[in-house]
Amino acid sequence: MTPGITTWDEIGCLNGPVLAIINSPADDQQAVATLFDRLRESAAGCALHVIAGREWRGWLEARHVPDDRVLVSVDASGTGLELNHFLDSPTVTMWTAARRFEQVIGSAPSAVYNDEVKDIFERRLTLLIGDGRYLAHTLPNPYVFVLDLPALLVRLARRHKLAEYAATCRALADDLHRFWTDLGSPDVADEHDSSARLETSGAFEIVRRHLRSDLLAFDEAAPVPLSKPDLSHAFADVVAHLQQTLREHDEQLADRSEAVAAREAIIAEIQAERIAAVNLRDTIIENLRREQETIIQRWRRKLRGQ
């Protein structure tokens, strides 16, 4: 499936295992039902798996989703966990890695013009999609934004790109306003001589400084040659998040290793006590046997003497 914008009709039938993550509010069953109805048509031949909060268990049972294809966001004691936190857990990482999902989709729809990034949720998907695709759907609208891992990482940089663009626009407007006031705040004029005067007096130089000179010379039929923003800060945020996740995984693994070691120590102690108890029992039995033999022997001697 090629990354880009498409529709459900163009996608047709989904292939391979599909993971649906219910990230909708508990009171928004309509959005979840709309997605599952769509997947019933598009993923009819696929093994649909689901990750969901504990509150969705009954709803999924009513939809006849097999228990072995559902992963509920709870901890080892059965206590419910916040979904995004659960998606970072070793349980989810190993569960998804073993199944190698080809499509991952959230129940909450995306904005129809792709002008929204579910930052917290989508950042967690960087650990889950692997070679698969994230389908950012817009149900009940037909459009679907197909994202592979590189596209998802670029998408997560949108906040940084918007911040950089806003800062450039503010700086440009401030410099142009300062230039205008230095000219004595002249009235608006579109005459040729006014434009020429602005160009020669420095207004165009301000635009070149902030937006680059090729923006002023580009062909209007061609794409606007805006400079590409630096995405290193966005990628650094993702890497920092992954580092924190791996650290938490290591801590949980260490805790489990300590628990296993403690359990094994207890088992070894119980086994040692059991062995000691068995040895004591055998000793008592042996002493009783010898004592019984001695008594019998004494009675035999006594009987012989008579």
pLDDT for 255 equals: 66
Strands 4-7 and 143-147: antiparallel
Nearest-5° Cα angle at 117, 115 to 118: 140
Question: Where are the alpha helices (H) located in 183-231, listed in sequence order?
Answer: 192-201, 203-211, 214-217
Q: Cα torsion for 246, 247, 248, 250, to the nearest 10°?
A: 90
Strands 48-52 and 133-137: unpaired
Helices and strands counted in the chain (H then E): 12, 7
Neighbours of 205 (CB within 10 A): 14
Helix (H) or strand (E) holding 133: strand 133-137
Instruction: Please say if the pLDDT value at position 245 is more than 70.
Output: yes
pLDDT for 29 equals: 93
The percentage of residues in the chain with a pLDDT greater than 90, rounded to a whole number, is 29
Q: Once rounded to an integer, what is the mean pLDDT over residues 195-206?
A: 65
pLDDT in tens, 67-105: 999 999 998 788 899 999 999 888 888 898 888 899 999
- Is residue 32 within 8 A of residue 108, CB to CB? The reply is no
- Dihedrals φ, ψ of 12, to 5°? 70, -130
Taking phi first (over 0 means left), then psi (-120 to 50 degrees means alpha), and beta for anything else, what does residue 186 get?
Answer: beta
Round to whole Å and give the CA distance between 228 and 80: 43
Most confident of 23-32, 183-192, 204-213: 23-32
pLDDT for 88 equals: 87
Domains annotated for the chain, with CATH where assigned, are 4-156 (3.40.50), 158-217 (no CATH)
Round to whole Å and give the CA distance between 84 and 79: 15
Instruction: Please say if the pLDDT value at position 33 is more than 90.
Output: yes
pLDDT for 135 equals: 95
pLDDT in tens, 141-193: 999 999 998 888 888 888 878 888 899 899 999 998 998 888 788 776 555 55
pLDDT for 101 equals: 92
The distance from CA 147 to its chain's CA centroid, rounded to whole angstroms, is 14
- Is residue 133 within 8 A of residue 148, CB to CB? The reply is yes
Q: Once rounded to an integer, what is the mean pLDDT over residues 25-52?
A: 90
pLDDT for 225 equals: 63
Most confident of 73-82, 101-110, 191-200, 215-224: 101-110
